[in-house]
Structure 1
Amino acid sequence: MRFIIDDQENFFKDFDQAYIDPPKKLPFYIRIGAWLSKKIIKKDLMIPKLLAWYPKAAISSGILESLVTHDDGEINKRLLKIIRIQVSVMVACPFCIDMNAFEYDKVGLSLEEINAIKNGDYTYHSFSPKEQVMMEYVCLMSNTPVVIPKEMVDRLNEHFSERGIIIIASTIAQVNYWARLIRSLGIPVAGFGDICTMEKP
Protein backbone atom coordinates (compact mmCIF):
# COMPACT_ATOMS: atom_id res chain seq x y z
CA MET A 1 0.00 0.00 0.00
CA ARG A 2 1.30 3.46 -0.90
CA PHE A 3 0.10 6.82 0.38
CA ILE A 4 0.04 9.37 -2.45
CA ILE A 5 0.30 13.12 -1.91
CA ASP A 6 -1.69 14.95 -4.60
CA ASP A 7 -0.81 18.56 -3.75
CA GLN A 8 2.88 18.44 -2.87
CA GLU A 9 3.24 22.22 -3.04
CA ASN A 10 0.88 22.98 -0.13
CA PHE A 11 0.71 19.65 1.69
CA PHE A 12 3.24 20.54 4.40
CA LYS A 13 2.58 24.29 4.45
CA ASP A 14 3.33 25.71 7.87
CA PHE A 15 1.61 28.71 9.45
CA ASP A 16 3.16 31.83 10.97
CA GLN A 17 0.62 31.91 13.78
CA ALA A 18 -2.48 30.07 14.94
CA TYR A 19 -5.86 31.08 13.54
CA ILE A 20 -7.01 32.35 16.93
CA ASP A 21 -5.32 33.91 19.95
CA PRO A 22 -5.45 32.36 23.40
CA PRO A 23 -7.61 34.03 26.05
CA LYS A 24 -5.96 36.91 27.89
CA LYS A 25 -6.30 35.10 31.20
CA LEU A 26 -5.84 31.35 31.58
CA PRO A 27 -7.55 29.35 34.34
CA PHE A 28 -5.04 28.38 37.03
CA TYR A 29 -5.26 24.65 36.22
CA ILE A 30 -4.51 25.36 32.55
CA ARG A 31 -1.52 27.44 33.64
CA ILE A 32 -0.32 24.52 35.77
CA GLY A 33 -0.79 22.11 32.85
CA ALA A 34 1.05 24.43 30.45
CA TRP A 35 3.87 24.84 33.00
CA LEU A 36 4.19 21.06 33.44
CA SER A 37 4.18 20.56 29.69
CA LYS A 38 6.92 23.17 29.24
CA LYS A 39 8.99 21.60 32.03
CA ILE A 40 8.75 18.12 30.47
CA ILE A 41 9.31 18.93 26.81
CA LYS A 42 11.25 22.20 27.13
CA LYS A 43 8.88 24.05 24.80
CA ASP A 44 6.21 26.66 25.48
CA LEU A 45 3.35 25.09 23.53
CA MET A 46 0.43 27.06 22.15
CA ILE A 47 -2.15 24.23 22.18
CA PRO A 48 -2.98 24.14 25.93
CA LYS A 49 -3.39 27.91 25.90
CA LEU A 50 -5.78 27.82 22.95
CA LEU A 51 -7.79 24.99 24.51
CA ALA A 52 -8.31 27.24 27.52
CA TRP A 53 -11.19 28.79 25.56
CA TYR A 54 -13.02 25.54 26.37
CA PRO A 55 -11.34 24.05 29.47
CA LYS A 56 -13.12 20.70 29.15
CA ALA A 57 -11.25 20.19 25.86
CA ALA A 58 -7.97 21.07 27.57
CA ILE A 59 -8.56 18.71 30.49
CA SER A 60 -9.78 15.77 28.39
CA SER A 61 -6.90 16.24 25.93
CA GLY A 62 -4.41 16.31 28.79
CA ILE A 63 -5.83 13.11 30.26
CA LEU A 64 -5.70 11.42 26.86
CA GLU A 65 -2.07 12.43 26.42
CA SER A 66 -1.08 11.27 29.90
CA LEU A 67 -2.39 7.75 29.28
CA VAL A 68 -0.86 6.97 25.87
CA THR A 69 1.74 4.25 25.44
CA HIS A 70 5.33 5.46 25.26
CA ASP A 71 7.02 2.08 25.31
CA ASP A 72 5.91 -1.52 25.63
CA GLY A 73 7.49 -4.95 25.44
CA GLU A 74 5.69 -5.76 22.18
CA ILE A 75 5.08 -2.30 20.70
CA ASN A 76 8.46 -0.68 21.24
CA LYS A 77 9.54 2.94 20.84
CA ARG A 78 10.55 2.46 17.21
CA LEU A 79 7.10 1.14 16.24
CA LEU A 80 5.37 3.93 18.16
CA LYS A 81 7.61 6.55 16.53
CA ILE A 82 6.77 5.17 13.08
CA ILE A 83 3.05 5.44 13.87
CA ARG A 84 3.37 8.99 15.14
CA ILE A 85 5.41 10.19 12.17
CA GLN A 86 3.22 8.42 9.63
CA VAL A 87 -0.05 9.82 10.99
CA SER A 88 1.49 13.30 11.24
CA VAL A 89 2.48 13.10 7.56
CA MET A 90 -0.90 11.76 6.46
CA VAL A 91 -2.73 14.58 8.25
CA ALA A 92 -0.14 17.07 6.90
CA CYS A 93 0.50 18.62 10.31
CA PRO A 94 3.92 20.37 10.25
CA PHE A 95 3.87 20.88 14.04
CA CYS A 96 3.22 17.17 14.55
CA ILE A 97 5.88 16.07 12.07
CA ASP A 98 8.38 18.34 13.81
CA MET A 99 7.46 17.05 17.28
CA ASN A 100 6.91 13.38 16.51
CA ALA A 101 10.00 12.96 14.34
CA PHE A 102 12.26 14.64 16.90
CA GLU A 103 15.13 12.37 17.98
CA TYR A 104 14.05 9.70 15.49
CA ASP A 105 17.59 8.33 15.51
CA LYS A 106 17.34 7.50 19.23
CA VAL A 107 14.76 4.78 18.46
CA GLY A 108 16.72 3.32 15.55
CA LEU A 109 15.09 5.15 12.64
CA SER A 110 17.24 6.50 9.83
CA LEU A 111 16.77 9.66 7.79
CA GLU A 112 16.15 7.43 4.76
CA GLU A 113 13.32 5.69 6.63
CA ILE A 114 11.82 9.04 7.63
CA ASN A 115 11.86 10.09 3.97
CA ALA A 116 10.29 6.75 2.99
CA ILE A 117 7.46 7.43 5.44
CA LYS A 118 7.05 10.96 4.06
CA ASN A 119 6.94 9.51 0.53
CA GLY A 120 4.38 6.88 1.52
CA ASP A 121 6.81 4.07 0.72
CA TYR A 122 5.88 1.54 3.39
CA THR A 123 7.75 -1.28 1.64
CA TYR A 124 11.15 0.40 2.02
CA HIS A 125 13.76 -2.36 2.31
CA SER A 126 14.76 -1.70 5.94
CA PHE A 127 11.21 -1.86 7.30
CA SER A 128 10.49 -5.32 8.72
CA PRO A 129 7.40 -7.28 7.56
CA LYS A 130 5.87 -6.52 10.97
CA GLU A 131 6.46 -2.77 10.49
CA GLN A 132 5.09 -2.87 6.94
CA VAL A 133 1.85 -4.51 8.10
CA MET A 134 1.52 -1.96 10.88
CA MET A 135 2.09 0.93 8.45
CA GLU A 136 -0.60 -0.37 6.11
CA TYR A 137 -2.94 -0.51 9.11
CA VAL A 138 -2.02 3.09 10.02
CA CYS A 139 -2.90 4.13 6.47
CA LEU A 140 -6.26 2.34 6.55
CA MET A 141 -7.16 3.70 9.99
CA SER A 142 -6.23 7.27 9.05
CA ASN A 143 -8.38 7.28 5.91
CA THR A 144 -12.05 8.18 5.75
CA PRO A 145 -14.08 6.03 5.86
CA VAL A 146 -12.13 3.57 8.00
CA VAL A 147 -12.33 0.21 6.21
CA ILE A 148 -10.24 -2.66 7.53
CA PRO A 149 -10.40 -5.69 5.18
CA LYS A 150 -10.35 -9.20 6.64
CA GLU A 151 -7.00 -9.82 4.95
CA MET A 152 -5.51 -6.97 7.00
CA VAL A 153 -7.04 -8.35 10.20
CA ASP A 154 -5.49 -11.74 9.45
CA ARG A 155 -2.07 -10.18 8.79
CA LEU A 156 -2.25 -8.13 11.98
CA ASN A 157 -3.06 -11.24 13.97
CA GLU A 158 -0.04 -13.00 12.46
CA HIS A 159 2.31 -10.31 13.76
CA PHE A 160 0.71 -8.88 16.89
CA SER A 161 -1.17 -10.01 19.97
CA GLU A 162 -4.62 -8.67 20.80
CA ARG A 163 -3.03 -6.33 23.34
CA GLY A 164 -0.53 -5.15 20.71
CA ILE A 165 -3.30 -4.39 18.23
CA ILE A 166 -5.13 -2.33 20.88
CA ILE A 167 -1.96 -0.33 21.61
CA ILE A 168 -1.40 0.28 17.88
CA ALA A 169 -5.04 1.23 17.17
CA SER A 170 -5.32 3.54 20.19
CA THR A 171 -2.00 5.22 19.34
CA ILE A 172 -3.12 5.79 15.74
CA ALA A 173 -6.41 7.27 16.98
CA GLN A 174 -4.66 9.46 19.57
CA VAL A 175 -2.17 10.89 17.06
CA ASN A 176 -4.98 11.49 14.56
CA TYR A 177 -6.84 13.41 17.26
CA TRP A 178 -3.89 15.66 18.06
CA ALA A 179 -2.75 16.11 14.46
CA ARG A 180 -6.20 17.06 13.22
CA LEU A 181 -6.83 19.39 16.16
CA ILE A 182 -3.46 21.13 15.82
CA ARG A 183 -3.70 21.35 12.02
CA SER A 184 -7.25 22.70 12.18
CA LEU A 185 -6.09 25.53 14.49
CA GLY A 186 -3.08 26.40 12.32
CA ILE A 187 -0.58 25.99 15.14
CA PRO A 188 2.94 26.69 13.81
CA VAL A 189 5.97 24.44 14.17
CA ALA A 190 7.53 24.65 17.64
CA GLY A 191 11.11 23.96 16.52
CA PHE A 192 11.83 20.58 18.07
CA GLY A 193 14.22 19.64 15.29
CA ASP A 194 14.92 20.18 11.60
CA ILE A 195 12.70 17.45 10.12
CA CYS A 196 10.29 19.97 8.61
CA THR A 197 13.14 21.49 6.61
CA MET A 198 13.72 18.19 4.82
CA GLU A 199 12.86 18.00 1.15
CA LYS A 200 9.14 17.50 0.63
CA PRO A 201 8.04 14.35 -1.22
Structure 2
Amino acid sequence: MSTSAYLSPPNRMPFYLRWGLRIAQRRTGTALLPAQLLAWYPKAAVGSAVLESLIAHDDGRLTERTLKLVRMAVSFAVSCPFCVGMNSEGWEKLMTQDELAAVQGLAPLDTFEPLERMAIEYARRVSATPLDFTPEYGAELTAMFTPRELVVLATTSAQVNYWARVIQGLGCPPE
Protein backbone atom coordinates (compact mmCIF):
# COMPACT_ATOMS: atom_id res chain seq x y z
CA MET A 1 0.00 0.00 0.00
CA SER A 2 1.50 3.29 -1.05
CA THR A 3 0.81 6.37 1.04
CA SER A 4 2.34 9.77 1.53
CA ALA A 5 2.58 9.15 5.27
CA TYR A 6 6.05 8.97 6.78
CA LEU A 7 5.77 5.20 7.06
CA SER A 8 3.67 2.34 5.79
CA PRO A 9 1.48 0.09 7.92
CA PRO A 10 3.17 -3.07 9.19
CA ASN A 11 2.82 -6.16 7.02
CA ARG A 12 1.53 -8.15 9.99
CA MET A 13 -0.39 -7.01 13.01
CA PRO A 14 -1.83 -8.84 16.02
CA PHE A 15 -5.16 -10.55 15.33
CA TYR A 16 -7.04 -8.35 17.82
CA LEU A 17 -5.90 -5.24 15.95
CA ARG A 18 -6.92 -6.72 12.60
CA TRP A 19 -10.33 -7.53 14.06
CA GLY A 20 -10.77 -4.04 15.55
CA LEU A 21 -9.57 -2.37 12.37
CA ARG A 22 -12.12 -4.30 10.28
CA ILE A 23 -14.92 -3.15 12.58
CA ALA A 24 -13.75 0.47 12.46
CA GLN A 25 -13.35 0.40 8.68
CA ARG A 26 -16.80 -1.08 8.23
CA ARG A 27 -18.27 1.61 10.48
CA THR A 28 -16.48 4.54 8.83
CA GLY A 29 -16.27 3.25 5.27
CA THR A 30 -12.62 4.28 4.99
CA ALA A 31 -9.22 2.60 5.24
CA LEU A 32 -8.21 4.51 8.41
CA LEU A 33 -4.50 4.83 7.77
CA PRO A 34 -3.79 6.29 11.26
CA ALA A 35 -5.23 3.19 12.91
CA GLN A 36 -3.16 0.95 10.65
CA LEU A 37 0.02 2.87 11.49
CA LEU A 38 -0.65 2.62 15.22
CA ALA A 39 -0.30 -1.15 14.80
CA TRP A 40 3.47 -0.59 14.94
CA TYR A 41 2.91 -0.07 18.68
CA PRO A 42 -0.12 -2.18 19.72
CA LYS A 43 -0.45 -0.51 23.14
CA ALA A 44 -0.99 2.84 21.42
CA ALA A 45 -3.48 1.25 19.04
CA VAL A 46 -5.50 -0.29 21.87
CA GLY A 47 -5.43 2.89 23.96
CA SER A 48 -6.51 4.96 20.97
CA ALA A 49 -9.32 2.51 20.19
CA VAL A 50 -10.61 2.73 23.75
CA LEU A 51 -10.48 6.53 23.60
CA GLU A 52 -12.37 6.53 20.30
CA SER A 53 -15.01 4.08 21.50
CA LEU A 54 -15.97 6.29 24.43
CA ILE A 55 -16.68 9.56 22.60
CA ALA A 56 -19.85 11.49 23.39
CA HIS A 57 -22.41 11.65 20.60
CA ASP A 58 -25.38 13.33 22.27
CA ASP A 59 -25.46 14.18 25.94
CA GLY A 60 -28.37 16.27 27.18
CA ARG A 61 -27.95 19.87 26.09
CA LEU A 62 -24.75 18.90 24.27
CA THR A 63 -26.57 17.64 21.22
CA GLU A 64 -25.14 15.80 18.22
CA ARG A 65 -25.00 19.18 16.45
CA THR A 66 -23.18 20.93 19.31
CA LEU A 67 -20.60 18.15 19.61
CA LYS A 68 -20.07 18.15 15.83
CA LEU A 69 -19.51 21.93 16.02
CA VAL A 70 -16.91 21.35 18.74
CA ARG A 71 -15.12 18.61 16.75
CA MET A 72 -15.10 20.73 13.63
CA ALA A 73 -13.93 23.85 15.48
CA VAL A 74 -10.99 21.91 16.94
CA SER A 75 -10.17 20.37 13.54
CA PHE A 76 -10.01 23.81 11.93
CA ALA A 77 -8.18 25.37 14.90
CA VAL A 78 -5.37 22.82 14.71
CA SER A 79 -5.26 22.86 10.89
CA CYS A 80 -5.66 19.11 10.45
CA PRO A 81 -7.06 18.32 6.98
CA PHE A 82 -7.59 14.64 7.91
CA CYS A 83 -9.56 15.69 11.02
CA VAL A 84 -11.56 18.27 9.08
CA GLY A 85 -12.58 15.57 6.61
CA MET A 86 -13.53 13.02 9.27
CA ASN A 87 -15.27 15.44 11.63
CA SER A 88 -17.09 17.43 8.95
CA GLU A 89 -18.75 14.44 7.35
CA GLY A 90 -22.50 15.06 7.19
CA TRP A 91 -22.19 18.72 8.24
CA GLU A 92 -24.87 19.76 5.73
CA LYS A 93 -27.50 17.84 7.73
CA LEU A 94 -26.75 19.83 10.89
CA MET A 95 -25.85 23.35 9.78
CA THR A 96 -26.01 25.90 6.98
CA GLN A 97 -23.21 27.00 4.67
CA ASP A 98 -22.96 30.27 6.64
CA GLU A 99 -22.62 28.34 9.90
CA LEU A 100 -19.88 26.20 8.34
CA ALA A 101 -18.00 29.39 7.47
CA ALA A 102 -18.44 30.58 11.06
CA VAL A 103 -17.07 27.33 12.50
CA GLN A 104 -14.07 27.74 10.20
CA GLY A 105 -13.51 31.20 11.68
CA LEU A 106 -14.41 32.94 8.41
CA ALA A 107 -17.64 34.58 9.64
CA PRO A 108 -19.13 35.65 12.97
CA LEU A 109 -20.87 33.09 15.18
CA ASP A 110 -24.08 35.17 15.25
CA THR A 111 -26.45 32.47 13.98
CA PHE A 112 -25.60 30.02 16.76
CA GLU A 113 -27.41 29.66 20.07
CA PRO A 114 -25.47 31.04 23.09
CA LEU A 115 -24.58 27.51 24.28
CA GLU A 116 -23.24 26.61 20.81
CA ARG A 117 -21.24 29.85 20.57
CA MET A 118 -19.66 29.19 23.95
CA ALA A 119 -18.91 25.56 23.03
CA ILE A 120 -17.20 26.65 19.78
CA GLU A 121 -15.20 29.33 21.60
CA TYR A 122 -14.19 26.78 24.24
CA ALA A 123 -13.06 24.32 21.53
CA ARG A 124 -10.93 27.01 19.93
CA ARG A 125 -9.42 28.12 23.22
CA VAL A 126 -8.59 24.61 24.40
CA SER A 127 -6.86 24.02 21.04
CA ALA A 128 -4.68 27.13 21.23
CA THR A 129 -1.16 27.36 22.55
CA PRO A 130 -0.84 28.77 25.11
CA LEU A 131 -4.26 28.19 26.64
CA ASP A 132 -6.15 31.40 27.32
CA PHE A 133 -8.36 30.62 30.31
CA THR A 134 -8.79 33.63 32.56
CA PRO A 135 -10.75 33.47 35.83
CA GLU A 136 -13.42 35.56 34.10
CA TYR A 137 -13.68 33.04 31.27
CA GLY A 138 -13.85 30.20 33.80
CA ALA A 139 -16.77 31.98 35.48
CA GLU A 140 -18.54 32.29 32.11
CA LEU A 141 -18.01 28.57 31.46
CA THR A 142 -19.34 27.47 34.82
CA ALA A 143 -22.34 29.80 34.44
CA MET A 144 -23.18 28.30 31.04
CA PHE A 145 -22.31 24.61 31.50
CA THR A 146 -22.82 22.00 34.20
CA PRO A 147 -19.73 20.19 35.49
CA ARG A 148 -20.67 17.14 33.39
CA GLU A 149 -21.06 19.27 30.25
CA LEU A 150 -17.65 20.87 30.83
CA VAL A 151 -16.05 17.45 31.13
CA VAL A 152 -17.78 16.31 27.92
CA LEU A 153 -16.58 19.45 26.11
CA ALA A 154 -13.04 19.10 27.46
CA THR A 155 -12.72 15.43 26.55
CA THR A 156 -14.33 15.88 23.14
CA SER A 157 -11.95 18.74 22.33
CA ALA A 158 -8.97 16.85 23.74
CA GLN A 159 -9.82 13.75 21.73
CA VAL A 160 -9.77 15.67 18.45
CA ASN A 161 -6.54 17.38 19.53
CA TYR A 162 -5.03 13.96 20.31
CA TRP A 163 -5.96 12.54 16.92
CA ALA A 164 -4.77 15.68 15.12
CA ARG A 165 -1.33 15.39 16.70
CA VAL A 166 -1.05 11.65 16.02
CA ILE A 167 -2.23 12.06 12.43
CA GLN A 168 -0.02 15.05 11.72
CA GLY A 169 2.91 13.47 13.54
CA LEU A 170 2.71 10.41 11.30
CA GLY A 171 2.20 12.48 8.14
CA CYS A 172 -1.19 10.98 7.27
CA PRO A 173 -2.82 12.61 4.25
CA PRO A 174 -6.53 13.54 4.32
CA GLU A 175 -8.92 10.64 3.64
**1:27-176 matches, cutoff 5 A:** 27-106=14-93, 108-119=94-105, 121=107, 123-176=108-161
Relative to the length of structure 1, the TM-score reads 0.81
Write the letter of the residue equivalent to 2:134: P
| Amino-acid identity (%) | 40
> Matches of 2:103 and 2:6 in 1, distance apart?
28
Structure 1 stretches lacking a partner, 5+ long? 1-15, 191-201
Write the letter of the residue equivalent to 2:95: L
User: Is residue 184 from structure 1 mapped to residue 169 from structure 2 by the alignment?
Assistant: yes
CA RMSD of aligned residues (A): 1.4
Write the letter of the residue equivalent to 2:78: V
| Range 180-189 or range 96-105, more displaced | 180-189
Structure 1 residue 120: Cα displacement: 5.2
> Matches of 1:95 and 1:39 in 2, distance apart?
18
> Matches of 1:158 and 1:120 in 2, distance apart?
27
Write the letter of the residue equivalent to 1:142: S
> Matches of 1:48 and 1:72 in 2, distance apart?
26
- Match of 1:99, SS state, is helix
Structure 2 stretches lacking a partner, 5+ long? none
Q: Is the 8 A contact 1:85 1:101 kept in 2?
A: yes
Write the letter of the residue equivalent to 1:38: Q
Write the letter of the residue equivalent to 1:103: G
- Match of 1:140, SS state, is helix
- Match of 1:21, SS state, is coil
Q: Following superposition, which runs of at least 4 residues in structure 1 exceed 4 angstroms of deviation? A: none
> Number of residues paired by the alignment?
173
Write the letter of the residue equivalent to 2:103: I
| Range 95-104 or range 148-157, more displaced | 148-157
Structure 1 residue 83: Cα displacement: 0.8
> Matches of 1:119 and 1:94 in 2, distance apart?
15
